[in-house]
Amino acid sequence: MATQLVVDIHTHVYPPSYLAMLRARKTVPYVHDPAEGEPRLIILSSDDDPATPLDQRGRPVDTSYSDINVKLAFMEKHGIHCSVISLANPWLDFVPSPEAQQWAERINNDLDSTCAQVNQTSDPEGTKSATEKQTLFAFGALPLSAPSSVVVEEIKRLSTLPNIRGVIMGTSGLGKGLDDPALDAIWKALEETQLLLFLHPHYGLPDEAFGGPEAVSRYGHVLPLALGFPLETTIAVTRMLLSGVFDRFQELRVLLAHSGGTLPFLAGRIESCIMHERKFVVNGGDEPGPQRSIWDVLQTNIYLDAVIYGSAGLQAAVAAGSHDRLMFGTDHPFFPPLQDEDEKWPSVTTNYKAIRSCFGEEKADSIGMVLGSNANRVLKLGLE
């Protein structure tokens, strides 16, 4: 039996130049170098709790964040043949224009050339099969603080770089969320280039949603990461839907992080609330409201990663979208093992296990699609 192709479409990097920029900062996001021990990465506002000593804030940042060889070793250990790397949050959201434009070009060129080097080194003759070598592709970063025309130009440029297959974006857009009509030029450029938009959370929810800063702090990262992140994604994509983004840009393709946040589970409730909303024209109100069904959007425009750590969630993701729109991911280098650094990462094996148990032996084809062939097709990776 041929080895099953495995593609990781949710895996992040902080290029050394980006980390250097963070190291020069003193407010979130920043890197702090303690007198002893590993540097600390403080990227979430909840990381920057003044009650926590500076040397203990955030999380330790080791070479897995920036050294591509560490990524390649991680891939080898976990049976991953191809990774589609993306800049980790918060991308360039905090970088003012015009620096953002320069940083986007620099990082995107870095990503593309890193992929090119790895691909060349791994298969110098171009003769190996996809499962005999290591292959990298990348999602680019956008300079969202720059004028729209600059962002559009960068999208067009990205579509010409050989190893770029999409862009990664947070939920703030130009600062007003993803239902901002000022984003239309960007949606249009993504639609025209058919670059996949990887929509990823970063900002979570206000502390008040969790009962205030003390309630959040008591449980470390659990509330912001386990709930804040997926809820942020759900809110962002729902606002896109409600404002008609998917009506105006019916060819826009969006990959939602963490299996859509909670979108597959809540899609029915969202649809029902739309049908019952007196404010929308169809019910006699003044607001247009979305024209297309959420189920149609889930099965036409939206792709989901399989980073959900359980077959219960995965079943909803399959049912709401389809087994051919779901793609394996790891979220590397986040969620490393805390106990035994040499073991396979439980955060990765849990997702492998969930995929296998969701489909079972009678649907083995679907397992292969989720693990690799969907990504190969959707992102036109050309892996054989």
Residues of this chain, 247-266, that bind a copy of itself according to CB under 8 A: 258-259, 262, 264-266
**Sites for a copy of itself among residues 301-320 (CB under 8 A):** 308-313, 315-316, 319-320
Nearer to a copy of itself, 34 or 336 (CB): 336
From 268, 281, 291, 296, residue interacting with a copy of itself (rule: CB under 8 A): 268
* 19 touches 31 (CB < 8 A): yes
Task: For the chain, state the CA radius of gyration.
Answer: 20
3-state secondary structure of 208: helix
Selected from 35, 51, 276, 362, the binder of a copy of itself by CB under 8 A is 276
Q: How many helices (H) and strands (E) does the chain have?
A: 14, 11
Stretch that binds a copy of itself, among 34-42, 104-112, 122-130, 227-235 (CB under 8 A): 227-235
CB 239 within 8 A of CB 220: no
Residue 132, helix vs strand vs coil:
helix
Smallest distance from a copy of itself to CB 326, Å: 13
Which C-beta is closer to a copy of itself: that of 49 or that of 112? 49
- Cβ-based nearer residue to a copy of itself, 111 or 354: 354
For a copy of itself, the binding residues in 32-91 under the rule CB under 8 A are 59
Q: Which is nearer to a copy of itself, 134 or 238 (CB)?
A: 238
Fill in the amino acid letter for 66.
S
Mark 107-126 with x for binding to a copy of itself (rule: CB under 8 A) and - for no binding: --------------------
Residues contacting 211, CB < 8 A, separation 6+? none
Q: Shortest Cβ distance from residue 272 to a copy of itself (Å)?
A: 4
Give CA–CA dist 126/136, Å, rounded: 14
Determine if 230 is a binding residue for a copy of itself (CB under 8 A): yes
Sheet holding 59-60, edge to edge: 30-32, 40-42, 59-60
String of contacts with a copy of itself for each residue 191-210, x by CB under 8 A: --------------xx-xxx
* CA angle, 144 then 147 then 148, to 5°: 75
Alpha-carbon span 375 to 304, nearest angstrom = 11
